[in-house]
Amino acid sequence: MQSRSQAYSIRRGSTRAEVQAVKRQEESEILNDEADTEALLEPQPSGPHSTVPSYGSPRGLLGSGAGDAAARRAAFARNRSLTMNRTKRRWWRSDARALQEILSNWVNVLLITVPLGLVAGALKWSAEYVFVLNFLALIPMALILGDVTEDLALRYGSVIGGLINATFGNIVEIILSIAALLNGLYDVVAASLLGSILSNLLLVTGCSFFFGGLFNKTQKFNATGNQASSSLLFLAALGFLIPTGASFLFGHGDVDDESKLVLGISRGTAVVLLLCYACYLGFQLYTHTELFEESAEESPGGGLPAEPQEPMMTLFTSLTLLTVITLAVAAASEYLTSSLTEFSQSSGLGEAFLGTIVLPIAGNACEHMTAVIVATKNKMDLSMGVAVGSSIQVALFAVPFAVVVGWCTGHPFTLKFDPFSAMALMLSVAQSNFVTAGATSHWLLGVQLIALYALLSLAYYFK
């Protein structure tokens, strides 16, 4: 969303500014060349005291009259060719600099695991190698997807750009959950999506509060925007609990009747949550954008209006990179989920722990770092936008979307959670609401959120 895009911009701000400065210089050169080209065909006043020919070249090389028409056309073609070649070189240099900047992050050292993980899965290596290599491969690919999505969103304004960020903001979690869903691992789907919500609400927000509090005594964030986000999260938690409660209260009869009951309630709940998410997007991107924008005090210019961001890559390069990385994420997710059961048996780690605690790290690790970095710079609205905003996307979009995909593909995935997971979700939402109610933070509040996440992780480990 907007906060997510702004947070990425802060992380990449200095390099992006340098790239844009070079782009402006090159564009100025191209405009000068085009002006020279147009001047070749503009008639100029002639006379006894005029030093410019009737059809003047900016360099004064062409004469007038019908005999010089061929020379004028040849000069025009040469200048136009020069301009086009310069434009092509600018595009290639811009794309090369953008790719170099994206790959400069130290996390991209893990890109070596992408081909290794895909080869391991294709050649059916042992489950340990397949799981670990593809798990590590998802981390840098999630980072690149975030950068490319941000660059693509800058082309289409705040509303369309916000929708692009909303769609691809949690694409790794969505692809991972769909891969598990199609493999029939319904418990892993529920655990991974629930774990993504818990890690963002507790671990990411807690680390942001803690490390931000070490550099700043107290920090403030937008109270109204936080209230809207907290109420939506509570609504989503209640939506997940309704199928669970219905199964507990009314599911003591026939098993088939219980399954139909829970499945029907889950699908209806998924539709309602998706509608709520659409309303949330309208609220954030159209009617109340000021609640989710970076405040003047937090802007990099010290209260001055920020310079508009520009895309660093061409549209073709952005779409190509987005397609290639998305396909690679889909393949890695398929191999990862297909090896999860065997890896769980060989490692002794339960599927609940792997799904709830381990898998969310792959899709959220780079986002976690971004939220903490901007928090240390006292940009808490951006940090909360990344952490809480990601939780809302998963709760109101990714989870019900998985239900709808299962509905369409004949996989009966429901929102029925086990009692402990339902309790963990409600405790996390309640604790997050308590901690953020005052719209201020300090390091001790971060410790509380991290402690709750550690307790839940411990429980899932022994579950």
DSSP 104-169: TSGGGGGGGHHHHHHHHHHTT--HHHHHHHHHHHHHHHHHHHHHHHHHHHTTSHHHHHHHHHHHHT
- Single-letter code of the amino acid located at 98: A
Least confident range from 60-69, 114-123, 139-148, 324-333: namely 60-69
For residue 116, give both structure tokens: 């290794």
Residues 382, 294 contacting (CB under 8 angstroms)? yes
Which DSSP helix (H) or strand (E) runs through 274? helix 255-282
pLDDT at site 368: 82
Residues 206, 384 contacting (CB under 8 angstroms)? no
pLDDT at site 6: 56
- Say which DSSP state 291 is in: G
Across the range 236-259, mean pLDDT stands at 78
pLDDT at site 421: 92
φ, ψ dihedrals at 55, nearest 5°: -115, 95
Residues 6+ apart with CB under 8 A from 186: 180, 411, 412, 413, 414
pLDDT at 396 over 60: yes
pLDDT at site 61: 44
Mean pLDDT of the chain: 79
- Single-letter code of the amino acid located at 141: M
The per-residue pLDDT for range 417-436, each reduced to its tens digit, is 888 999 999 999 999 999 99
Gap between the Cα atoms of 461 and 351, Å rounded: 9
The per-residue pLDDT for range 118-147, each reduced to its tens digit, is 999 999 899 999 999 999 999 899 888 888
Gap between the Cα atoms of 342 and 339, Å rounded: 6
Domain segments of the chain as ranges: 2-38+96-462
Which DSSP helix (H) or strand (E) runs through 46? none
Percent above pLDDT 90 for the chain: 38
Residues 6+ apart with CB under 8 A from 156: 164
pLDDT at 28 over 90: no
pLDDT at site 26: 55
Cα atoms in the Cβ-side hemisphere of radius 13 Å centred on 401: 18
Domain covering 2-38+96-462: architecture: Up-down Bundle (1.20)
pLDDT at 375 over 80: yes
Angstrom distances, CA of residue 256 to CA of 252, 260, 263, 354: 11, 6, 10, 30
pTM of the model: 0.77
- Say which DSSP state 306 is in: P
Most confident of 51-65, 160-174, 444-458: 444-458
The per-residue pLDDT for range 354-367, each reduced to its tens digit, is 999 999 888 778 77
pLDDT at site 199: 93
pLDDT at 151 over 70: yes
pLDDT at 291 over 80: no
Tokens 């199964």 locate to: 247
